[in-house]
Amino acid sequence: MGQPLAVGLIGAGPWARAVTGPVFAAGPETVLAGVWSRTGSNAHEAAGALGTRAFDDVDSLLDACDAVAIAVAPGAQVELAIRAAERRRPVLLEKPLAFDVDGARRITDALAEHNVPSLVMLTYRFHPEFERFRAEAAAFDALGGRGCFLSGAFLAGSPYAVGWRLERGALLDVGPHLLDLHEVALGEVVAVRAAGDVHGWVSLTLEHAGGATSQASICCRAAIESVTAVEAFGPAGAIRFDGRTGDRRAIGDNMRRTFAAVARGEHHASDAARALHLQELIASAERQLAG
């Protein structure tokens, strides 16, 4: 292995401090080059906790790093991702890419224009059981399936029960994770039928390119231990992915190694183009729920 990849962190909120920053500070594939946030005091506080320096200007951070991890709200991510692309910095992006498809497409267009690699935090792609499930699904003749992402993340007292998540609902927040797993299990989703309430329980019926159908349930207001699981069923039986099993500490290590590889030229399926596709599916469901 050569020199560690110097990663700049954009954002200093709860996720950046608890997950993204510590992952890249842990090494050995990466070092944390510094932190920038629109709120300078937050950047300095996060930098102190992470053992790195705070930058008062985002361009100065981009100058000081080989690649950048963006951990901000969707509304702020678009312009920051475009700026990173213009500076040709490989970028780790949050899901959803933006608040709408147009914003997401602006990011993917900028990355393509400047030939900049990307990785998106579809967390379960880095789960220690994911590759086993992906291989099983590739060889499995599925007739249909079901999945759910259920938690109490939007209940009072949760650090995630704030801002855009409460305004837009669980579908935009965690929908990308679940739809991605459904596609891994059953193939590309070509149509979505949605019912329910974006601020309560959302039920999706998904039509897959190979002819299978599946049901997906999403809710972040259930007072339960969180559940993320997908199952596929067919003549040979069933296969299952359970996101709450295994050593979840491995997720951060896998993500860090993957981003270092992407920044050095390897392609990964969890890129901005994939996130755009998932956002288009979510936008279709949102329009139905609003109608």
Domain identity same for 94 and 231: no
Domain identity same for 209 and 117: no
Domain for residue 221, yes or no?
yes
Domain identity same for 215 and 230: yes
Domain for residue 278, yes or no?
no
Alpha-carbon distance of 266 to 259, in angstroms, equals 9
pLDDT of residue 291: 77
Domain for residue 205, yes or no?
yes
pLDDT per residue as tens digits for the range 275-287: 999 999 999 999 9
Task: List the domain range (segments joined by +) for residue 105.
Answer: 5-123+250-269
Alpha-carbon distance of 240 to 142, in angstroms, equals 12
Domain identity same for 157 and 264: no
Alpha-carbon distance of 53 to 21, in angstroms, equals 12
Domain for residue 290, yes or no?
no
Domain identity same for 27 and 42: yes
Q: What is the CATH number of the domain that holds 150?
A: 3.30.360.10
Q: Treating both helix axes as pointing N-terminal to C-terminal, what angle do 74-86 and 101-113 enclose, rounded to 10 degrees?
A: 10
Q: How many domains does the chain have?
A: 2
pLDDT of residue 9: 98
Domain identity same for 9 and 118: yes
**Three-state SS annotation for 106-133:** HHHHHHHHCCCCEEECCHHHHCCCHHHH
Per-residue pLDDT of the chain (291 residues), as tens digits, is 579 999 999 999 989 999 999 999 998 999 999 999 999 999 999 999 999 999 999 999 999 999 999 999 999 999 999 999 999 999 999 999 999 999 999 999 999 999 999 999 999 999 999 999 999 999 999 999 999 999 999 999 998 898 999 999 999 999 999 999 999 999 999 999 999 999 999 999 999 999 999 999 999 999 999 999 999 999 999 999 999 987 878 999 999 999 999 999 999 999 999 999 999 999 999 999 997
Domain identity same for 102 and 158: no
Domain identity same for 118 and 149: no
Cα–Cα nearest to 259, from 48, 3, 6: 6
Domain for residue 275, yes or no?
no
Domain for residue 223, yes or no?
yes
Domain for residue 288, yes or no?
no
Put residue 185 in one of left, alpha, beta given phi > 0 → left and psi -120 to 50 → alpha.
alpha
Put residue 140 in one of left, alpha, beta given phi > 0 → left and psi -120 to 50 → alpha.
beta
Domain identity same for 202 and 138: yes
**148-184 b/e (C-beta count within 10 Å ≥ 16 → b):** bbbbbbbeeeeebeeeebeebbbbbbbbbbbbbbbbb
Domain identity same for 117 and 202: no
Domain for residue 287, yes or no?
no
pLDDT per residue as tens digits for the range 117-135: 999 999 999 999 999 999 9
Strand partners, 213: 144, 207
Domain identity same for 144 and 217: yes
Domain identity same for 146 and 9: no
Q: What is the CATH number of the domain that holds 260?
A: 3.40.50.720
